[in-house]
Amino acid sequence: AAISPLSEAERSAALQDLPQWTYDKDNKGIARSFAFGNFVEAFGFMSSVALLAEKADHHPEWSNVYNRVEILLTTHDAGGLSERDIALAKQIDALI
């Protein structure tokens, strides 16, 4: 792994800036749910996230049902949560 996971203390500190995201212990990542007015808005958001993800070479685990989007960010190369997830979460929040 080229990148190391955050320590518990680093994770707590990082999540202070991401109040809408919660740590998912089982998946070793951070998760947030988004709700939009309809499917087109949800999918437009996903398109924007996809562009950010491709630019960062860091990709979300996610799902969409109609107007809702669930995102989980974890770093496979680190085996857990890393700085890359925090950076992408902040970029995603900035879209909203």
Site residues, ligand H2B (CB under 6 A)? 57-59, 74-77
In terms of C-beta density within 10 A (0-12 exposed, 13-18 middle, 19 or more buried), how is residue 30 classed? buried
The minimum distance between CB 85 and ligand H2B, in angstroms, equals 7
Q: How far apart are CA 46 and CA 17, in angstroms?
A: 22
In this structure, the number of other CB atoms found within 10 A of the CB of residue 81 comes to 26
In the complex with ligand H2B, the residue whose CB is nearer, 38 or 77, is: 77
Q: Which is nearer to ligand H2B, 11 or 59 (CB)?
A: 59
CB of 70 to ligand H2B, least distance (A): 15
